[in-house]
Structure formats: structure tokens, C-alpha cells
Chains A and B, each alone.
Chain A
Amino acid sequence: MYSYNDFDEAFVRSRVAQFSQQVHRRIDGSLTEEEFRPLRLMNGLYLQLHAYMLRVAIPYGTLNPRQMRQLAHIAQTYDKGYGHFTTRQNIQFNWPKLPDVPAILTALADVEMHAIQTSGNCVRNVTSDHFAAAAADEIEDPRPYAELLRQWSTDHPEFQFLPRKFKIAITGAPNDRAVTAAHDIGLRLVKNDKGEVGFSVLVGGGLGRTPMIGMVVREFLPKEDLLPYVEAVLSVYNTLGRRDNKYKARIKITLHETGKEEITRQIEARFAQLRPLFGGHDQDLLAEITEAFAPPAFRNAPVDAYDAFYKADPVFRAWADTNLAQHRNDQYAIVTISLKAHGATPGDASADQMRVMADLAERYGHNELRISHEQNVILPHIHKGDLPAVHAALVQAGLGTANVGLISDIIACPGMDYCALATARAIPVAQQIATRFDELKLEHDVGPLKIKISGCINACGHHHVGHIGILGLDRAGVENYQITLGGDGTETAVVGERAGPGFAYDEIVPAIERIVGAYLEHREAPEETFLEAYRRLGLAPFKAALYPSEGKKDAA
């Protein structure tokens, strides 16, 4: 994986020094909050409901064990012993104190990490497929391009004051695990008729109060045109994007108001101007970066231990069935470590758990860890012969939950338990749904089902693309939860449909149970997933299950 060069190191260190001075000046009164706020946000520091929150970037969700251990150290030393992994593949610390933030940023810089551009109207952390360079279905590792974009966008003078924040996601596989269609720019590596690899470029996707699926503005972009083309998109957005209304400032609105044809024309015109200015240094840099992402030296060894355990141990088998994904090397598997133990907070890991995961990555996983946007941790390269040992260690650390992709593998934003913007809680709803379906012992029977919960309309919990989406709102001073159905965040992305009136806090779990009950009743066979059944049946049977009394009223 990529390692900082002298330039990166000097830049991050100078930003730590600069922000440390700013913190001191805020504390001694030389800076007002109005002056300090934009500075702290540029460095990932928020003031939330009960405390400060520091959002640390994990570029394209890739970490090494040393970095994971440092996150554990920070959690233990400066926070309450845990960290929260987010849907942006970042980690958030919920309880840092302002005077400690310079020390935390220094500790991050010691392991080539930072919190720069995790907030503000700039290009945010570039997200990617958490199975990158391991997945069997991949065309090419997307991370060298993500790293190139990270270097290009970090402190880019033209793009530090965009109309609004800007999110780029990139996938190297046709099965889109990076929700590229819901990003300001979505990049998909594709092959054209000649067998050349390039990008399909989507623009204008996003969730939030106006959810939209991105539109393809370029079917095939040669790889070497990536930076000038992305720069052209941002340049056009920087010019056209609205600064008069925060709610209309994202590029999805610009695209809608300008029209796809016109904005494409402007992007191409700007691209024609910019392309000649890129003399090839970007490609030299990309070549260097690509070397850093060379695949590990995969081991060639028997996988008998795996086969034997799979046959003999039902607990291991259940975990293997849900938490493993196919690796490009037949002797290997991709392990998803569930941070969704039933009843626990989605995405949270204790310092001890972080250390266990770091140790496993070091001992068995070619020194790589990933954070998924679904708030789990991935060991992308585990030899199958080592899986029984890895599983045993995970179980011991409370990380052995066999539920990836099932109903209890819920995405939830921090909601009103932490976030100052939230309008309702999200975490306890997730905890209760997971606990309830664990009691019912139904989740393996229900099969693949993605529930995603947001505690406000900004949709950090991706509820629009959940098979079942839950949006927490404040309705006349009471928490109220709206349900959307049929959302999909993959290559067949679609925004879910609102089911009807919302439910009170104590009604939401029974409502989810009724939806699942309707699915079990109406599915053609256990092989028909919830999403497939929804697509075949539409909203009606689920609505009838959700609002039984209304059906009776209509009949009367």
C-alpha cells in the first residue's frame, strides 16, 4: 500500500503545527469561535451534541496494522476506549477534548494519517471498493487512482471553497460495492470493445434531502485522462454551482438545473482546455503509486484445514457462509469482520478489538485492513488454511458474529446520540432490530437484506439505498421514523420508495417485523431475496402489512 513520500510527510506535519497554533490561539482567546470554526472543520474537528468529534480520514478505506494500532492508542488515551467507523470509510472519535487535539493529530501523523478535508466544502476522502485488489470480479485495483485523486485534491488551491462538499467514489469491479452512483463523481473501471481499460464517469449522484442517482457523462474515459477530466468536472461545478442556497449547492442540483447535455458540453469544453496542460507528470506519479499497490506474495499451501473445519464445525460454517467472499486467488478468501454484534452499536470497535484485528492482519493478512462503507472491517487476503485460526481469534474478541449481508448487518449513522444535526436517534433502532431478529432466529432464513438507518435527512446512513431504509425525523417534538423500500446501492442503484406515514420510536421495530413477515409470506422460494421479491411485487403487499388498519377502513 501507499507510503508517504517526503512531500506528504512535510505537508501533514506542517498542517498539524498550523492547527496546533490555531487551537492554542482559540484557547487563549485570540481567536473567536467564528474565526476558529472554519479552521477546525478543515481539520476534521466538529462540535457535536455532547462533545467534540474528530473525523479521521482513512483514504479509500485502506489501513495497515500499525495505523490500526495507533487508532486503538488514540481511542484509549484521548477518548473513551473505542472508535466509530463510518459510511465514508472514516473513523470518528466521539469524545476528544479540544486541548488534546494537537496531540491526537501528531499521533496520526506519526502513522501517515490525518483529518484534513474530512469536512468543509472541498473534495472529501475518496472512497473505494473495500474488496479492492482481492475481489475475483475486479478489472483492476481502483486504489492507485484513488490515491492519485487524493494527492491531486489535497489542498488543491482551486477547490478549497467549492459551493458545497464533493465526494468521489471509485470501483474497479462491475459489482459496485462502493455506491458510486450516489456520489458527486462515481468512477467505474470498465473495458471497451477493444479490450482497453478506462472509466465510466457518473456525475450528480447523492443522497441527502434530494436523493439522485448519478448520470453517465462519459461512457469511456481513457485512464490517462482521469485527472484533467475530474478537474474539468470540478471546474464547471465551481463556476455553475449555486452558492446562494445551501440546499441547492451540490452538483446533483447543478446538473439538474443545467441539464445533462449542456453540462456535458461544458465539461468536455473545459476538458479540451485542460488536457494539454497535463504533460505526463501525473502518469509518472500514477506509475509510482501503482508500484506501491503491488499485490502481496500469496502463499501456496494446502487448504485442508479449512475444508475439515467447514465440515466439522457448524459455528465456523455459518460464519464462513456469511462473512467470506471469493478471492481472486482460489486458496484465499476475503474476510469481513462484522462490527454488528447483535445489540451492539454498528461500526464501533473497542481499542482491544482494533488491536486484535491489527494482529490478525499482521500475522495472517499480508498487513492489510479495510473499512467498508457498511461499517465493517475487512481482512482482504487470508489464506483459507488460516481461516479457522482467524475465526477463533475473532470469536474470542467478540468479533465473530456471522451476519454479514443479513438483516442485523445494519448501517446506522450516529444519529441524535451524538450528532448535532440529527433529528432522531438511529443507533438504538439498529440495536433493537438486530436484537429482535436474533431472538426470532430468523435472519438466516430471511437471507440477504440491507437495512440502513439515518437520523436526519442528510442521509449519512444511506437509507435511500437500503432494501429497507429508515429515516428518523422530529415530528412535532417526537421521534418519528419513515420507511423506504426497494432501495439499492449497487450497480443497479435505485432510490427507495416511501412506504407511507412514519412510525413512533416504539412502533418501528414491529413495523420492520411486519415487512419481513410479508416478504416471507410472499416470496416464491427462499432463493428469492427481499429485493427481488420487492421488485416483482411492488409496494402493495408491504404497505398492506405495514398499515393493516387502513386496509380495513378501505374495505368498510
Chain B
Amino acid sequence: MARFTPKVVTANALLEGDVIYLTADDRWTRLHHEAELIEDEAHAQLRLVHAMAQKSVAVGAYLADAKAGPDGPEPTHFREVFRTRGPSNYPHGKQAELI
């Protein structure tokens, strides 16, 4: 069986549409590095079910690949990297709002 790749639970916020991540203490954060890095497949499924149940907060929750970094989880795929900062043509989205 293939080794499980660590994951974070991510979604979009219902009201603003902004990218959000599930933390270990059941909060939703706008910051990738504050997300819970999930290293166990069964636990990942439980966390996803938990996220999907929060219908009035989060939309379209899914598991995204991630890896451990010095400040917390880091995205591995470029799509997830873009989601942590916003578009490349304007300083809009997280890259502007979270500074």
C-alpha cells in the first residue's frame, strides 16, 4: 500500500469565499501554517467529515497534500501554494490582507 501523504483540511469560507484551513483545536484559520497537519489516513477522513459538517462556515472542504515546515504545514502542490497567497497579477487576497 502506498504511504499516506500528510494532509491539511481546507475549504472556502461561506461568506467571503476566502481560503480557510482547519486547525487541530477545531478553528478555521486563514493561514496555512496554522492548519493541523494530518499524518494518519483514518484521522484525515474523520477531520474531513468534521469539516464537511460545518455547513454554515465552510464550503467544499477537501484534503490537500502538505508537508511539515519550520513554521507549520506548508503546501506541496502549486495550486495550494497559490491558494495561500492569491493571484499573481495583482497584490490581492491573502498576500495583501495577511501582511
Complex CA distance for A477 and B93, rounded to whole angstroms: 23
Q: Are B59 and A416 in contact (CB under 8 A)?
A: no
Complex CA distance for A476 and B9, rounded to whole angstroms: 22
Question: Cβ of B39 < 8 Å from any Cβ of A?
Answer: no
Q: Are A416 and B79 in contact (CB under 8 A)?
A: yes
Chain B nearest CB, measured from A154 CB (Å): 27
Complex CA distance for A98 and B59, rounded to whole angstroms: 12
* Known A-B contacts A29-B55, A29-B56, A49-B82; A95 and B92 likewise in contact (beta carbons under 8 Å): yes
Q: Are B15 and A80 in contact (CB under 8 A)?
A: no
Question: Cβ of A202 < 8 Å from any Cβ of B?
Answer: no
Complex CA distance for A89 and B93, rounded to whole angstroms: 26
Q: Which of A447-483 contact B (CB under 8 A)?
A: 474, 477-479
Q: Which of B41-99 contact A (CB under 8 A)?
A: 55-56, 59-60, 76-79, 82-83, 86-90, 92-94
Complex CA distance for A32 and B19, rounded to whole angstroms: 19
Complex CA distance for A26 and B55, rounded to whole angstroms: 9
Interface size on A, as a range, is 20 to 34
Question: Cβ of B14 < 8 Å from any Cβ of A?
Answer: yes
Q: Are B18 and A416 in contact (CB under 8 A)?
A: no
Complex CA distance for A548 and B49, rounded to whole angstroms: 52
| B89: contacting residue among A27, A50, A51, A417, CB under 8 A | A417
Q: Are B16 and A51 in contact (CB under 8 A)?
A: yes
| A97: contacting residue among B16, B55, B77, B82, CB under 8 A | B16
Closest to B16 in A: A97
Complex CA distance for A94 and B89, rounded to whole angstroms: 13
Question: Cβ of A33 < 8 Å from any Cβ of B?
Answer: yes
Question: Cβ of A500 < 8 Å from any Cβ of B?
Answer: no
List, in ascending order, chain B residues with CB within 8 A of A99's CB: 15
Question: Cβ of A425 < 8 Å from any Cβ of B?
Answer: yes
* Known A-B contacts A416-B79, A416-B82, A478-B78; A48 and B17 likewise in contact (beta carbons under 8 Å): yes
List, in ascending order, chain A residues with CB within 8 A of B87's CB: 50, 94, 417-418, 427
Complex CA distance for A112 and B81, rounded to whole angstroms: 40
* Known A-B contacts A47-B59, A49-B83, A479-B78; A417 and B88 likewise in contact (beta carbons under 8 Å): yes
Question: Cβ of B12 < 8 Å from any Cβ of A?
Answer: yes
Q: Are B90 and A80 in contact (CB under 8 A)?
A: yes
Q: Are A52 and B88 in contact (CB under 8 A)?
A: no
Complex CA distance for A80 and B82, rounded to whole angstroms: 19
Q: Which of B1-39 contact A (CB under 8 A)?
A: 12, 14-19
| A417: contacting residue among B12, B60, B82, CB under 8 A | B82
List, in ascending order, chain A residues with CB within 8 A of B90's CB: 80, 345
List, in ascending order, chain A residues with CB within 8 A of B92's CB: 50, 80, 94-95
Complex CA distance for A478 and B79, rounded to whole angstroms: 9
Q: Are B17 and A431 in contact (CB under 8 A)?
A: no
Q: Is the interface of B mostly helix, strand, loop or mixed?
A: loop
Q: Are B14 and A50 in contact (CB under 8 A)?
A: no
List, in ascending order, chain B residues with CB within 8 A of A50's CB: 17-19, 83, 86-87, 92-94
Residues 90-109 of chain A, each 1 if its beta carbon lies under 8 Å from chain B, else 0:
00001101110000000000
Closest to B78 in A: A479
List, in ascending order, chain A residues with CB within 8 A of B77's CB: 477
Q: Are A477 and B15 in contact (CB under 8 A)?
A: no
List, in ascending order, chain A residues with CB within 8 A of B83's CB: 49-50
* Known A-B contacts A33-B55, A477-B78; A425 and B16 likewise in contact (beta carbons under 8 Å): no
Q: Are A52 and B78 in contact (CB under 8 A)?
A: no
Q: Are B89 and A428 in contact (CB under 8 A)?
A: yes
| B17: contacting residue among A32, A98, A416, CB under 8 A | A98
Complex CA distance for A427 and B90, rounded to whole angstroms: 11
Q: Are A33 and B59 in contact (CB under 8 A)?
A: yes
Closest to B95 in A: A50
List, in ascending order, chain B residues with CB within 8 A of A418's CB: 87
Closest to B60 in A: A47
* Known A-B contacts A29-B55, A49-B82, A477-B78; A427 and B89 likewise in contact (beta carbons under 8 Å): yes
Complex CA distance for A533 and B42, rounded to whole angstroms: 59
Complex CA distance for A1 and B61, rounded to whole angstroms: 45
Closest to A428 in B: B88
Q: Are A52 and B89 in contact (CB under 8 A)?
A: no
Complex CA distance for A27 and B57, rounded to whole angstroms: 9
List, in ascending order, chain B residues with CB within 8 A of A417's CB: 82, 87-89
Chain B nearest CB, measured from A344 CB (Å): 8
Q: Are A33 and B60 in contact (CB under 8 A)?
A: yes
Offer 5 A-B interface pairs, CB within 8 angstroms, sorted by A.
Answer: A47-B17, A49-B79, A416-B82, A431-B89, A474-B78
The 6 lowest CB-CB distance pairs between A and B, nearest first, are A417-B87, A51-B17, A52-B17, A29-B56, A50-B93, A345-B89
Tell me the A residues contacting B by CB distance below 8 Å. 26-29, 32-33, 47-52, 80, 94-95, 97-99, 345, 416-418, 425, 427-428, 431, 474, 477-479
Give 9 A-B pairs besides A27-B14, A50-B17 with Cβ atoms closer than 8 angstroms. A47-B59, A48-B17, A51-B93, A80-B92, A98-B14, A345-B89, A416-B82, A427-B87, A428-B88
